[in-house]
Structure 1
Amino acid sequence: MRSPRMRWSRLYTPTFREDPADADAASHRLLVRAGFVRQLMAGHYSLLPLAVRVRAKVIAVIREEMGRIGAQEVLLPAMHPAEIWRRSGRWDVMGEEMFRLQDRRGAEIALGMTHEEIFATLAQEFGSYRRLPQIWYQFQTKFRDEPRPKSGLIRVREFTMKDSYSFDLDAAGLDRAFDLHHEAYRRIFARLGVPAIPVRASSGSMGGGDSVEFMCPSDAGEDVVVRCPDGDYAANVEKATSRLAPVEDGPGPPEPERFGTPGVRTIEDLAVRYGVPADRQIKTLVHVLDGALTLVLMRGDHALAEQKLADATGAAAPRPAREDEIVAALGARPGSLGAVGVTGLPVIADEALRGRRDMVTGANADGFHVRGVDVGRDIAAVRWADLREVAAGEPCPECGAPLEAVRCVEVGHIFKLGTKYTEALGVTVLGPGGDDILPVMGSYGIGVERAMAAVVEASHDDAGIVWPVSVAPFEVAVVLLNVNDDEVRSAAESLYGTLLAEGADVVLDDRDERPGAKFKDVELIGIPYRVTVGGRGVAAGTVEVTARATGATETVPIAEAAAHVRGLLAP
């Protein structure tokens, strides 16, 4: 985004010297301090001129890379009729995060959280297989009623998403579209300066098959990525697996034995007071899955990954059962629960319990447990699934090296949707043999403003933001120190004009301010290069060129300054 003339004296850059009190992430703090954004209400931000410039450059990078894979840009409505979402089954699945309203005629409307249904509706016009494959994309505002907006632009209720959708005749075509997006996303994040890690992920409410998230390491992140330091495995903790050391169990007694455990309410209580290690305990959790009370069994030292439970069962809105629901169904409170002898409730168990013998679990009577439990023998109708949350230090499933856990911000997500939406919305094409074929879909998203925040999370220092040239609000700031010195002003204006004419995105700092204040603003805002034009330098025929990323300053002859800066800006 270039302007024919941009002088700092006319630019709206309301910078602060102090951090905002409510900022909980580096990007939030710096984007407010440097005059990029202002909060209107929780989860809703106004983008000021500097942010609009960065946003436009982020969009330009994404648009260019989408063009490279043959995608076509469209723009679809942000308000959707409820009927389309009901046909896909997601009107209820989305729950309270979907903004809903009624128009003056009483028709139910949703503000779009995403656009799978709407793109599939357009695809009803394909007619023939000859129109496939297709990749469509848009930049559109999304609305999500986040219960806890936080971290500035990272978790908001209103944001711009680049969402694209592929339509293919078969799984092989979908694989190709998925791979094209995977590589495009790698290029996009590299160009934006975001150190994104592609990781295996849950598809969640999107449905379909495989999905990959692109994760940026950040203390502000709400996701945890488990990865191998050798680089051969990375997954969201909601999807991650690891190797477990084999366990040798004794045969145990011929049948379970009940024993008293007064006052025991936790795994640790049983381990400390009765000498039962956590890895020999069966932890019994009770969840409500689509209205049905379900027993969820875990090894005592393992945590449940709730998204894995949702994925394994297909439950739309799983939740932990309340204590009153548990007591009514099992006759005991949490801490004394077990599945031995239970026949009226479904049971799902983590794979780590498969084949285990001589285990200890609750007896469904407060103050009692059962030992000698053989899971296969003593617990009826168990359904098996990977439900365990992987922890740092566990062996990599690929090579066995200790895994590490990294807190991250999700900056992109790509999904193989299959026929979930084309089937629900009646999308078919006439195949080469004259039969109807359901196209297969993929869905691919990048949050634009979140990507901006991720750049800042990844690239800042104590002085402010350090934007890469590719998305900086300006590439160069020509800083005029002696505004009342005609010779200095003339030199600065000439250099500014030359850089502008040669295509540099440059701003002239012509404010009548102290040099220190000007330098601090350039550093806070994060402009990659500063060219300082002052009286002593002009008298010597030189200017100073300072790189924001390193702080290194070079003295350059005025006649060579424009060419020198162009060289620095060259990719």
Structure 2
Amino acid sequence: MRLSRSFLPTLKETPADAQIVSHRLMLRAGLVRQTASGIYAWLPAGLRVLRNISQIVREEQDSVGAQEVLMPTLQPAELWKRSGRYDAYGPEMLRIRDRHERDLLYGPTNEEMITDLFGQAVKSYRELPQTLYHIQWKFRDEVRPRFGVMRGREFLMKDAYSFDVDHAGAVASYQRMMLAYLRTFQRLGVKAIPMVADTGPIGGELSHEFIILAPTGESGVFYDGALDEQDWLHEPVDTDDHASLDTFFRRTTSFYAATDEKHDQAAWSDIAPDRQREGRGIEVGHIFHFGTKYTEAMGVSINGADGQSFFPEMGSYGIGVSRLVGAIIEASHDDAGIIWPEGVAPFDAVILNLKSGDLACDALCERLYREAPGRLLYDDRSDRAGAKFADADLMGHPWQFVVGPRGTAGGRVELKRRATGERSEMSVDDALAMIAAFGTKAAS
């Protein structure tokens, strides 16, 4: 994408109403614009980030056997009345009525709808287990929306739902999803701490939330430093074997982790002082196992192996995709702007032409840009070099290829790594090979 032709409206000044770092930087870097209280339009760069996060989430859901569906944003109120949650959910639910006087609601979550869809299609225990997920916009009418996309009213969420024959199968589905979540956050380039949590209005008896460590986080976090050493991507877990899943789960949840207060002083004191970690964090995911709460309330039963009908066991699993954009920025930024982890960034790199109009500089920039135009942003503006460097740091591209007259004359390109500020020079051929790898990675 050529910056001179792009809709990337950056701001030099910090908006007065932006209270936290991620909100300020998302506005300044041209990722979003507010259209109403707690509701945002996602501009091209912001949408690219949303799609990158969604794709990583999708791939990890698929890897544990979850199947993608797409449910509507509007739901019949009757479904929620069947479950008993229509009146209990509270004023956060946006209730509406259509021209035929039918009661509808803008979905804040999808336990009722997925249970009804499941009940229409699945009739036998032989069809279990099933795990279904979608990535869809939700709406919760927050009384005081604030902090940009971190506490908005409309948000993009991945929610998944598992159905199993019995408790053991449901717990295995839960454990499988925990592994998928830990791998997801690791791929997103953030440290997420899993900890036991309240089930809240969704209900259930087993629940964990996932907290991204960030200095500006809303919750205090206390945890065992051994969690920092885990490599979830290469964890040797057989996701089809209950014993392997159980071993992984028990080891993972054995690490001490708590929010706000060290509520179990004995467990905290058992951790060696050099492994005790304190910080702050942001909740970005929550998983629940709640048994037959919804299948029983909604009368969804299927035929068992003994010929008797039974209510399947369920779990639900949420990740705040749009919230993750803000959380990643809160965890990864400096005074100059965003520092995107690779794989999340809207562009892998930016090409900075320090002398637009110079034939040699223009030709080299065009040559670099042709290698992977979908993965690169080309700053071809006639602005001064300082403005280009400032915008590149603000927008947080992982790599900056700097092309100027002196380097071009010597067949060299300067490379800057945004995360560390490290600068080096490389040959044009090496730069071309690196850029070609961006395109290859995107296609794989």
- Mark yes or no: TM-score above 0.5: yes
Aligned to 1:234: 257
Unmatched 5+ residue regions in structure 2? 228-254
Among 60, 65, 78, the alignment partner of 1:70 is 65
SS of aligned partner of 1:527: coil
Matched, 1:553 2:426: no
Matches within 5 A, 1:14-413: 14-124=9-119, 125-228=121-224, 232-237=255-260, 241-242=263-264, 394-396=265-267, 399=270, 406-413=279-286
Matched, 1:544 2:414: yes
Paired amino acid for 1:106: E
Q: 1:134 to 1:16 in 2, by over 3 A?
A: same
Residues of 2 paired with 1:227 and 1:548: CA distance? 29
8 Å contact kept, 1:8–1:507: yes
Paired amino acid for 2:295: T
Among 466, 469, 479, the alignment partner of 2:339 is 466
1:138-170 CA-partner distances (Å, limit 9, x unpaired): 011111011111111111100111000000001
Per-residue deviation at 1:77? 1.5
8 Å contact kept, 2:4–2:379: yes
SS of aligned partner of 1:156: coil
What is the identity percentage for the equivalent residue pairs of Structure 1 and Structure 2? 46
8 Å contact kept, 2:371–2:439: no
8 Å contact kept, 1:144–1:157: yes
Aligned to 1:432: 305
Residues of 1 paired with 2:366 and 2:440: CA distance? 22
1:346-380 CA-partner distances (Å, limit 9, x unpaired): xxxxxxxxxxxxxxxxxxxxxxxxxxxxxxxxxxx
8 Å contact kept, 1:114–1:142: yes
TM-score, structure 1 normalization: 0.69
Residues of 2 paired with 1:459 and 1:178: CA distance? 29
Among 500, 507, 511, the alignment partner of 2:377 is 507
8 Å contact kept, 1:194–1:454: no
Unmatched 5+ residue regions in structure 1? 1-5, 243-393
Residues of 1 paired with 2:99 and 2:357: CA distance? 62
1:406-463 CA-partner distances (Å, limit 9, x unpaired): 4321100010021000001111111111111210001000011101111101110010
SS of aligned partner of 1:153: helix
Residues of 1 paired with 2:87 and 2:217: CA distance? 28
Aligned to 1:417: 290
8 Å contact kept, 2:372–2:439: no
Among 344, 352, 371, the alignment partner of 1:498 is 371
Matches within 5 A, 1:497-536: 497-500=370-373, 505-536=375-406
Q: 1:9 to 1:27 in 2, by over 3 A?
A: same
8 Å contact kept, 1:395–1:401: no
8 Å contact kept, 2:375–2:439: no
8 Å contact kept, 1:228–1:404: yes
Residues of 1 paired with 2:9 and 2:223: CA distance? 41
Per-residue deviation at 1:107? 2.1
Residues of 2 paired with 1:407 and 1:468: CA distance? 20
Per-residue deviation at 1:112? 0.5
8 Å contact kept, 1:478–1:506: yes
Greater helix fraction, Structure 1 or Structure 2: 2
TM-score, structure 2 normalization: 0.88
Residues of 2 paired with 1:80 and 1:567: CA distance? 44
Paired amino acid for 2:203: G
Residues of 2 paired with 1:524 and 1:492: CA distance? 21
Paired amino acid for 2:348: E
